[in-house]
């Protein structure tokens, strides 16, 4: 009898221990989950703070221009808008095929027709709204951003001196397209990288020399977005290291807490993120370097822009840049995201690509 009672006591004691262990485990797991949630919330808050600081830095940089003479080169004029017929002309499939086959070297064709431009106030920045339809003629656009090698050919052929080089003549420490990241960097060793530290004036001068022009903001967005209103050039999926070179942990500095790493501390060679190409096969329209557009920037321009071939406000203080960069968060990679910079200014994360009208 005593032996039986002893066994029962042992069983009860074991059961109590098990129950206590289970309860303790639950409390421990809840503590871990709470701590993890707190860490995630803290990280999210920190990343939000970082993004706001970067936005503030970008806007501060945009208002600072190096001292450089005013350029007198002519403008590479934007195209005339499509004829106003009440309808938007759309290329027939056979026309698209023929024009794709006839595309100049290094360029792709963006078909004529309408597309949706802009974003809602809830999903974008104030200057991205309202959402509106735009009708454009067909045009050719560079498949890749203009490279150091291409820009060097222009400089060698013309003796052109960039705005940044003019400013650097009185301050040798300033970055230029030849040394975009400082004296230790050399464009000669980065021939297939996008040229950077070029102003809007410099980009426009190159475009004229090449027989091309800078894209209007609407042309740029259509080439990146297509006609289905996608958020990014590749679709609506969030950016990954295979799709775009945006600011991440490999960029260091203020982005050390980012969750992505594409192993590119700064710009990458053009065409390094083929998975992120647009529906028209245009590459690097998300990240790598911001790209100059023809248009002056206007915060409320979308509220008054014409529905056919818009070319931006008649005048302004800043020019539009698009596409985000290696130094900017993934938000800059959205196809509708707008940013601006002084036309005489330059930065190590601003470059450009060109377009060409149909003959």
- Quickly tell me which residue has 């036309």 as its tokens: 343
Nearest CA to 254 out of 156, 356, 317, 328 is that of: 328
When comparing pLDDT for 27 and 172, which is higher?
Answer: 172
Per-residue confidence (pLDDT) for residue 179, from 0 to 100:
92
Q: What is the DSSP string of 156-167?
A: HHH----HHHHH
Token digits for 91? Answer: 């290329």
Best-predicted range by mean pLDDT (57-66, 203-212, 326-335): 203-212
Which of these ranges, 20-24, 206-210, 243-247, has the smallest mean pLDDT? 20-24
What are 262-279's pLDDT values in tens digits? 455 689 999 999 999 999
Q: What is the DSSP string of 21-65?
A: HHHHHHHHHHHHHHHHHHHHHHHHHHHHHHHHHHHHHHHHHHT--
Mean pLDDT for the chain overall = 83
Residue ranges with strand state E in 118-254: 132-136, 139-142
Confidence of residue 100 (pLDDT cuts 50, 70, 90): very high
Stretch 100-118: mean pLDDT: 97
Task: Report yes or no on 90 lying in a domain.
Answer: yes
Distance CA 255, CA 91 (A): 44
pLDDT at 234 over 70: yes
Domain count across the chain: 1
Contacts by residues 89-97 (CB-CB < 8 Å, ≥ 24 positions apart): 89/113, 89/135, 90/114, 91/138
Task: Report yes or no on 8 lying in a domain.
Answer: no
Task: Report yes or no on 324 lying in a domain.
Answer: yes
Task: Report yes or no on 37 lying in a domain.
Answer: no
Token digits for 359? Answer: 């003959």
What are 152-182's pLDDT values in tens digits? 999 999 999 999 999 887 687 889 999 998 8
Task: Report yes or no on 103 lying in a domain.
Answer: yes
Per-residue confidence (pLDDT) for residue 8, from 0 to 100:
56
Distance CA 358, CA 83 (A): 15
Stretch 282-286: mean pLDDT: 97
Q: How many CA atoms does the CB half-sphere of 121 hold within 13 Å?
A: 4
- Cis before 130 (ω within 30): yes
Per-residue confidence (pLDDT) for residue 76, from 0 to 100:
73
Range of the domain at 226: 49-357
Task: Report yes or no on 7 lying in a domain.
Answer: no
Stretch 79-103: mean pLDDT: 85
- Which CATH number belongs to the domain containing residue 290 in this structure? 3.90.1580.10
Number of H helices, E strands in the chain: 6, 9
Task: Report yes or no on 40 lying in a domain.
Answer: no
Per-residue confidence (pLDDT) for residue 75, from 0 to 100:
73
pTM for the model: 0.78
Confidence of residue 26 (pLDDT cuts 50, 70, 90): low
Stretch 91-120: mean pLDDT: 97
Q: How many CA atoms does the CB half-sphere of 17 hold within 13 Å?
A: 6
How many CB atoms are closer than 10 A to CB 210?
17
Which of these ranges, 20-24, 90-94, 174-178, has the smallest mean pLDDT? 20-24
Task: Report yes or no on 140 lying in a domain.
Answer: yes
């Amino acid at each position: 009898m005593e032996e039986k009672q002893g066994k029962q006591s042992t069983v009860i004691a074991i059961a109590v221990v098990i129950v206590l262990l289970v309860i303790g485990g639950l409390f421990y797991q809840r503590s871990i989950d709470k701590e993890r949630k707190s860490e995630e919330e803290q990280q999210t808050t920190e990343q939000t703070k970082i993004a706001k600081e970067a936005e503030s830095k970008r806007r501060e940089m945009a208002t600072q221009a190096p001292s450089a003479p005013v350029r007198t080169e002519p403008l590479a004029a934007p195209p005339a808008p499509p004829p106003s017929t009440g309808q938007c002309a759309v290329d027939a499939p056979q026309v698209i095929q023929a024009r794709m086959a006839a595309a100049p070297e290094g360029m792709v064709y963006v078909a004529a027709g309408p597309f949706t431009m802009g974003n809602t106030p809830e999903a974008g920045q104030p200057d991205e709204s309202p959402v509106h339809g735009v009708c454009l003629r067909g045009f050719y656009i560079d498949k890749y951003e203009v490279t150091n090698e291409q820009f060097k050919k222009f400089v060698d052929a013309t003796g052109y001196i960039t705005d940044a080089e003019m400013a650097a003549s009185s301050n040798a420490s300033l970055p230029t397209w030849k040394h975009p990241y400082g004296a230790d960097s050399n464009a000669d060793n980065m021939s297939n990288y996008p040229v950077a530290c070029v102003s809007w004036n410099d980009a426009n001068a190159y475009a004229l020399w090449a027989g091309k022009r800078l894209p209007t903001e609407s042309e740029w967005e259509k080439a990146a977005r297509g006609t289905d209103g996608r958020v990014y050039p590749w679709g609506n999926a969030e950016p990954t290291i295979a799709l775009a070179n945006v600011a991440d942990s490999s960029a260091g500095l203020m982005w050390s807490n980012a969750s992505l790493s594409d192993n590119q501390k700064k710009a990458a060679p053009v065409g390094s993120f083929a998975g992120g190409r647009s529906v028209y096969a245009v590459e690097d329209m998300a990240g790598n370097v911001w790209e100059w557009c023809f248009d002056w920037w206007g915060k409320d321009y979308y509220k008054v822009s014409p529905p056919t071939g818009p070319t931006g406000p008649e005048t302004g203080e800043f020019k539009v840049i698009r596409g985000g960069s290696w130094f900017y968060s993934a938000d800059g990679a959205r196809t509708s995201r707008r940013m601006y910079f002084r036309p005489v200014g330059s930065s190590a994360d601003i470059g450009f690509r060109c377009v060409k009208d149909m003959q």
